[in-house]
Amino acid sequence: MRVDRWETLVVALLAAVTVAASLGVDGFANGSNVAFLLLDVTEIALMALTMTLVIVAAEIDLSVASTLGLCCAVLGRLWTAGLPIEAIMPICLVTGALAGALNGLLVTRLGLPSLAVTIGTFALYRGLAYVILGDQAVADLPPAYTGLATQSLGPIPLLTLLVVVLAVAAGILLHATGLGRAVTALGANEEAAYFAGIRVKRIKFWLFVASGTMAGLAALVFTFRYASARADNGVGLELAVVAAVLLGGVSIFGGRGTLAGVVAAVLLLAVVRNALILADVANEVLNFVTGLLLVASVLAPNLKVRLERKPVQ
Amino acid sequence: MLALREVSKSFGAVRALRGVSLDLAPGEAHALAGENGAGKSTLVKILSGVHRPDEGALLLDGEPVEFHGPADARAAGVAVIYQEPALFPDLSVAENVFMGRHPRRSFGRVDRRAMRTRALDLFSRLGVPLDPARPARGLSIADQQLVEIAKALSRDARVLVMDEPTAALSGPEVERLFGVARSLRDQGRAVLFVSHRLDEMFALCERVTTLRDGAVVATDVLADITPDDLVRRMVGRDLAALFPKQPTVPGEVALKVDRLTREGVFTDVSFEVRAGEIVALAGLVGAGRSEVARAVFGVDRRDAGSVHVAGRPLRAGSPTEAMAAGVALVPEDRRQQGLVMDLSIERNIGLTTLKWGLLSRAAERARATDWAIRLQVRYAGLTDAVTVLSGGNQQKVVLAKWLARKPRVLIVDEPTRGIDVGTKAEVHRLLSELAAEGLAVLMISSELPEVLGMADRVLVMHEGRLVADLPRAEATEERVVAAATGRPA
């Protein structure tokens, strides 16, 4: 398979920025900063994995961060009600799965566009989170788990290992299995995929369930990492997730993209952010730079496709 | 009044019109006849300013004119009534009639009263009781066409082109439309009537021009010829010995379709295809042939009837199950339904045999290579996107993709449309070979020579019904065309 030039560019940029930051920014290239950087990007990275699959399938899930908030609220509520944390954790994942299933049903059964559906459930799930937990913060979580969430194995945070394992699994799923091929094909041309016997709706439904479940997992990570379950956990993360996926070279129109590119993009955004913060760059500039990268990422691959693709009559 | 002189038009390698001359006279209704693909639509589009001729000229009252777009044609007095007019559904009938040229009062306000009276006047001239104030939404197609005709009248159009206007009309509606057309003709306008229905041409028109393969075969006075003469002019081609159908002994019934119905699309369609047989499904575009294929394969639902494959019933609405039962469909629209254009050749071929688990790239490539060689696909590399292939080679990739499943029943919908002659012959040879190996082939085709040359049996559909089932020996051009156009053989 030919290496896509855009993804190579992202990796090169990541390397360049990392080297530049190591040389030019005090405090960037030390173990604790790198560990913090990696840890800090865990939720985005996790949700970006399933978001990649969803966007390759030419859909989108903008409700992931709200699903995360909903799962946090459920967790906080059940914990204050006295349930053991070991029982709450699976409930949390199931909550995410159900939220994803509702998205999936609305998209596949009613044939609604996922952009509209998940903008709706984006508000719905966040609202539900506030209904469940109000604006209270549940902080007295078991230290065994909050500790585990920030634990490292040598220089590498445990959670980063979790991300790596799941990223490899998602990469294999997308690039080396029949299911992944089917996802790519239906994202590129849903009608042809349907004519080839691919169960388009069923696959899309389960992608939304996976996306919701992953948001549930991200909710656990978020809650334990900050030792705080709140209804507003993760506000705005959906944009960071979608941004990373698009920057990673996944086409917003579906049908093309690689998991490696997305992982590189997640890291690139994290490194740029971290380096700029360490360099005491004002927050406004920081957002500006992130935004610039995003516009470039959306423009460049599409521009490339537009130039390469011959006009279709 | 309006004339074409030696007009030619090509689209890429396809020569749609070759040196066509046509004279439309005032006070005359002129019919345009020809098979699917003979060039009728292209001719209409040149008259309406959508296409410009590559060669030749348009003459208006003897003077050469150039239409740079539909607006020019309209300004020159040419109005086209399509099979399904596009009105603005939420505007009133009168507003639709005067769209873009509303009568005005002071300060540019629309003069509704003037619009209404003028619309009423137009409709009374046409002799049809239509309320100008009602919204266009909900009008029957026949009434929508009358609104279009009123629009043309209001613009004082001198040439009225009617492009298969009767396809969706009932008997009385056709009569009413013809009444209107005759009165326009008698007022000295020229009418060009494009249709597949021979009886209608004879009922309405004085002269007929027949196109075949983009060229004019003849222009006749209809009073001097018979419908059979006309059919012969439409089809009279040499049946090339290009079609190497090998004789086969039909085996067991592989596909049995019983009283299949999809409401409003096709009704009570029953037929069988045996192993080793090539059965052609002929008919005009819009007769419901592709729709039958889609319902059999399960991409469309069905309202009644059953499908059996090798004796076992097939559940409706699931292409996945149809494939599991051994049915394959090479669809009509290669680029949209047959291929994922962004994917490589080998991945397109592999698409029908995907399993959920890990893929073996080596196995995938080996299978793709096998089929590419057998079908003589010409490519630079199997990892090339299918976009770079020619139409014929793309079609071979679609065939490879389906043959890789080793189907029992192969449905091909217009298998050689838009591909070059050489590849066409290869596709025909392949279908013949596959039938000889025991595959049951159902071939939808609008090309009569292909139908007659390839098929062991010819089924003909007309307006959603199966109207003929002709064994090879009895399938003549005349009989197939007669059945397809709804005339008794």
For A162-190, write each residue's pLDDT tens digit: 999 999 999 999 999 999 999 999 999 99
For A208-257, write each residue's pLDDT tens digit: 999 999 999 999 999 999 999 999 999 999 999 999 999 898 988 999 89
Does the beta-carbon distance from A192 to B320 stay under 8 Å?
no
- State which amino acid sits at residue B254: A
Whose structure tokens read 């082109």?
B161
Q: What is the ipTM of this complex?
A: 0.82
**Mutation site, A195, A200, A251, A308, interface B, largest B CB count within 10 A:** A195
How close is the nearest chain A Cα to the Cα of B183, in Å? 40
- Average pLDDT, integer, range B27-41: 85
DSSP letter at A231 equals T
Residue B242's pLDDT band, with cuts at 50, 70 and 90, is low
User: Edge-to-edge strands of the sheet including B266-274?
Assistant: B266-274, B253-262, B304-309, B312-313
Q: Among B411, B403, B473, B401, which Cα is nearest to B443's?
A: B411
How close is the nearest chain B Cα to the Cα of A174, in Å? 10
The first and second tokens of residue A80, run together, are 């204050």
Give the CA radius of gyration of chain B: 25
In order of B59, B172, B420, the CA distances from B122 in angstroms are: 29, 21, 50
Strand partners, B9: B17
What is the pLDDT, as a whole number, of residue B233? 84
Query: DSSP states of B155-212 as a string?
Result: TT-SEEEEESTTTT--HHHHHHHHHHHHHHHHTT-EEEEE-S-HHHHHHH-SEEEEEE
- Percent of chain A exceeding pLDDT 90 equals 75
In order of A7, A258, B288, the CA distances from A13 in angstroms are: 10, 17, 56
Calculate the CA B299 to chain-centre distance.
Answer: 20
Which of B331, B359, B383 is nearest residue A181 as measured by Cβ atoms? B359
Provide the number of CB pairs (under 8 Å) joining chain A to chain B: 74
Does the beta-carbon distance from A256 to B342 stay under 8 Å?
yes
Most confident region among A129-133, B430-434, B442-446 by mean pLDDT: A129-133
Q: Residues 212 to 271 of A: which have CB under 8 A from any B CB?
A: 255-256
How close is the nearest chain A Cα to the Cα of B314, in Å? 14
Residue A233 belongs to what H/E stretch? Answer: none
The first and second tokens of residue B279, run together, are 């059965």
Residue A303 belongs to what H/E stretch? Answer: helix A283-308
* Span of B49-63, B79-93, B257-271 with lowest mean pLDDT: B79-93
The first and second tokens of residue B347, run together, are 């991945």
**Mutation site, B299, B342, B358, B382, interface A, largest A CB count within 10 A:** B342
- Average pLDDT, integer, range A131-155: 91
Does the beta-carbon distance from A184 to B335 stay under 8 Å?
no
Which of B339, B356, B359 is nearest residue A192 as measured by Cβ atoms? B339
DSSP letter at B338 equals I
Decide if B299 touches A, using CB distance below 8 A.
yes
Beta-carbon-side half-sphere exposure of residue B467 (alpha carbons within 13 Å): 23
* Span of B255-264, B285-294, B416-425 with lowest mean pLDDT: B416-425
- Residue B306: strand, helix, or coil: strand
Which of B354, B357, B387 is nearest residue A182 as measured by Cβ atoms? B354
Residue A138 belongs to what H/E stretch? Answer: none
The first and second tokens of residue B457, run together, are 């049996």
CA dist B178 and B81 (Å) reads: 13
- Average pLDDT, integer, range A36-63: 96
Does the beta-carbon distance from A195 to B358 stay under 8 Å?
no
The first and second tokens of residue A292, run together, are 């610039």
CA dist B159 and B74 (Å) reads: 10
Q: Indicate the average pLDDT of chain B.
A: 88
pTM exceeds cut of 0.80:
no
CA dist B316 and B312 (Å) reads: 13
- State which amino acid sits at residue B46: I
Residue, of B335 and A109, whose pLDDT is higher:
A109
CA dist B481 and B467 (Å) reads: 11
Which residues of A fall within a CB distance of 8 Å from B343? 184-185, 188
What is the pLDDT, as a whole number, of residue B240? 47
Which residues of B fall within a CB distance of 8 Å from A179? 354, 356
CA dist B231 and B233 (Å) reads: 5
With 70 as the cut, is the pLDDT of residue B289 above it? yes
Does the beta-carbon distance from B359 to A177 stay under 8 Å?
yes
Which residues of A fall within a CB distance of 8 Å from B327? none
Does the beta-carbon distance from A177 to B357 stay under 8 Å?
yes
Decide if B401 touches A, using CB distance below 8 A.
yes
Strand partners, B164: none
* Residue of chain A minimizing CA distance to B337: A192
Does the beta-carbon distance from B299 to A194 stay under 8 Å?
yes
Decide if A179 touches B, using CB distance below 8 A.
yes
With 90 as the cut, is the pLDDT of residue A203 above it? yes
* Residue of chain A minimizing CA distance to B331: A195
